[in-house]
Structure 1
Amino acid sequence: MELVVPQILNGGVDTVFVMPNLQPPITSIAKALDYQSCLRAIEPKVHYLMSLYLHPSITPEVIAEAAAAGIAGVKMYPQGVTTNSESGVPADFLKAYSPVFAAIEQHDIVLNLHGEWPGRPPSDDISLEEAFLPELKKLHEKFPRLRCVLEHCSTAAALDAVRACGPSVVGTITAHHLYLTGDDSQTDPLAFCKPIPKKPSDRDALIKAVCSGDPKFFFGSDSAPHPLASKTKIESGQAVPAGVFTQPFASQLVILALEEAIGRGVLEEDEVTQDRLEQFLSRSGRRFYKLPDPVTEGPPKIVLERKGETIPTSIKSADGTLEIGLSRSNAPVFSLSWLT
């Protein structure tokens, strides 16, 4: 935390939705607020939206208290699909947590979904994300006013599922899903994440959504730091932890992916406008979370300039005992500064 939090602003970000899948998970309001205090002490210029981990201890009464305390949302993880999801929800989550979902809808906070479904037969030629999409439809039909975020969409099917729902359902798109494919994730441990990147056609569908102007899709970095040793020096029998670390260059990596998409002919250059970038990186997400509108409130802006900067291999703690590998090291990127 002490190493990563100072990198948030470097990536052109001043507002973050803080995920609760720590060890142990954040399942109480007191833990969430303590965590927020720790984050603010490290970097007070960032706005931290806090969340609770959906768990049997989360009741409708807890939801009411969380809303009153300023907690922004509740994150749902199906059991066993990603890092620290062992305490996640079971297959019958819609029935088991219906009173909680009703309370989240009533108190108008956000339900954030890790949209993958475990346990499908190996012969099925669909991804874990696609297997989850019928559950999203059922959830939305039962709770049509419940604000839901399908986090880190990785397939064209997920985009279509979000579009098919009403305005209360949106999807986030990461930087890394705009340039990685499944082949990258299988060969590079620093590119391994959940959901696993998919086919080039899925990547290109995500890229088109970014520049579409559709407010249903906005940026969510899903930047997940892991010690470099755990990513690259795995002992026999140990699995590589899922997570791609992009935060120090989060916005810059989005721009790089769009430039590369223009080079491949996926986008025309005139489709990448400042207005569309501001909408994807800022306005749509802020409006969905009901934060002050950046157009009317006038927060700081980021300035991107070509200065020959490249992404370093890693970031390290001052004493060198902790090192975190960066995605796309050595790639040329825009330099970023804040205009206040």
Structure 2
Amino acid sequence: MDMRSDEIELPAAFDAHVHLRDGEMSQLVTPTIRQGGVNQVYVMPNLIPPVTTVQQCLEYRGRLKAIEPDVDYLMSLYLHESITPEVVCEAKKAGIMGVKSYPAGVTTNSSSGVIDYETFYPVFAEMEKQNMVLNLHGEVPSTPSHAHSSTTANNTSAITILNAEPAFLPTLKALHEKFPQLRIILEHCSTAAALAAVRACGSSVAGTITAHHLSLIIDDWAGDPFCFCKPVAKTPEDRDALLRAVVSSEGKFFLGTDSAPHDRVKKRGEDKVAAGVFTQPYALGYVLDALSKGVERGVVKEEEVTMEVVEGFLGGWGRRFYGVEEKKGERIVLKRGKEKIVEVLKRDGVGGAEVVPFRRGEETWSVTWK
């Protein structure tokens, strides 16, 4: 593939990590899936209340289908104390693909999350038996600010948003060793350490990489709430490691945008900034832009950005890991610089929901369906 090309034709993409919310927000953002060149998505369950039963999950999928019927929605349950091996079996029979684990309190709508993973070993054993996917938000909660001085005094490192992901990696290793055939995805990898941890595991473990983490570093979100997400973007070295992983992983890593819409008031007008970057309508363009800049900086070589790599990262590798078939015949054409990113996404008939997309006002690749 020639990265200087102004037009690329690809199969429609698979996004292995999306937040589509519910109600008015879902009405606003769900139509942007196909706008962005994607026809299959893996949907996160952290609604309020979280999706913890098979019935809730199927009803949620029905609501999404009613908004945009031409998308395949792969569904997940929220790992919660009410999830049992019996629920796992029921979910498998209903066609639900996996279970998402959030450490308690680390990100949006995660207050019902996991405190002790060993408690769920019977659930993981049944998931392994049923060939379901365990999706891990790979961070641990931050050390409370009032405890920082005593933590240092006890010769243990305080946890902040900057080292929360590396601190989680021993848990990934332990889960893989305990359940070697369990399909595990370390979601939204943001550090070189996370990439190395995934690579050190067997073929049953993979990682997703977002579109925005391929571009952002600490300085970006420190000054712009619309670039703030969990896990936060890290150092330039971490960002460049992610770019190299895209072109060199041979399928170990694939696109999961973690596109997370929040009303713009919650991103800038309240006391606490909501964590999430909205990328859904433009995600493929963001990835291509990041790869182009990576080539310019010498982080990746132009000859490494092959059509096989681009098709694999944007869809093929994720589909292979999840065991889903590509929707044959659905193809897209991307054209460089032919799309201006809107300042605010809003739509008549869906209430007052307004979402600010990543890189608002800039240009990226347009998407048209063949």
TM-based fold match above 0.5: yes
Query: How far, CA to CA, are the matches of 1:202 and 1:318 in structure 2?
Result: 40
Deviation string for 1:101-144 (max 9, x for gaps)? 00110101100000001145755386100000000000000000
Aligned partner (choices 128, 142, 159) of residue 164 of structure 2:
128
Residue 68 of structure 2: aligned partner: 43
Instruction: Give the secondary structure class of the aligned counterpart of 2:367.
Output: strand
Question: Which residue does the alignment assign to 1:77?
Answer: 102
- Amino acid aligned to 2:210: T
**Kept in 1: contact 2:230–2:275 (CA 8 A):** yes
2:287 is the alignment partner of 1:254: yes
| Secondary structure of 2:99 counterpart | strand
Q: Verify the 8 A CA contact 2:207 2:252 in the aligned structure 1.
A: yes
Corresponding residue for 1:325? 356
1:46-61 alignment, distance < 5 Å:
46-61=71-86
CA drift of 1:232 comes to 1.6
Cα shift at 1:191:
0.4
Residue 264 of structure 1 and its aligned partner are, at CA, apart by 1.5
Instruction: Quote the offset at 1:330 in angstroms.
Output: 2.2
Counterpart CA distance in 2 for 1:317 and 1:308 is: 22
Aligned-pair Cα RMSD in Å: 1.4
Tell me the equivalent position of 2:323.
290
Query: Structure 1 residues 197-206 or 256-265, which shifts more?
Result: 256-265
| Paired position in structure 2 for 1:30 | 55
Q: Which residue of 2 aligns with 1:187?
A: 223
User: Deviations along 1:47-101, whole A, 9 cap, x unmatched?
Assistant: 00010000010000000000000001000001011001100011x21x2000000
SS of the aligned residue for 2:28 comes to coil
Aligned-partner Cα distance in 2 for 1:115–1:259: 28
Q: 1 CA distance for matches of 2:106 and 2:353?
A: 26
Match of 2:17 in 1: none
Residue 185 of structure 1 aligns with an amino acid whose one-letter code is W
Residue segments in structure 2 that go unaligned for 5+ positions in a row = 1-25
TM-score, length basis structure 1: 0.94
CA contact (8 A) 2:337 2:363 kept: no
Matches for 1:1-340 after TM superposition, within 5 Å: 1-90=26-115, 92-93=116-117, 95-120=118-143, 122=148, 124=157, 127-234=163-270, 238-292=271-325, 294=326, 298-306=328-336, 308-318=338-348, 321-339=352-370
TM-score for both structures, normalised by structure 2: 0.87
Alignment partner of 2:248: what SS? coil
* One-letter amino acid of the structure 2 residue matched with residue 321 of structure 1: G
* Amino acid aligned to 1:333: T
Amino acid at match of 1:215: G
Distance 1:186 1:199 in 2: 12
Unaligned runs of 5+ in 1: none
What displacement does 1:308 show? 3.4
Tell me the distance in 1 between the aligned counterparts of 2:338 and 2:31. 23
User: Which of the pair has the greater relative contact order for Cα pairs under 8 Å at 6+ separation?
Assistant: 2
Which piece of structure 1 moves more, 137-146 or 329-338? Answer: 329-338
Deviation digits for residues 141-200 of structure 1 (CA, Å, limit 9, x no counterpart): 000000000000000000000000000000000000000111111110000000000000
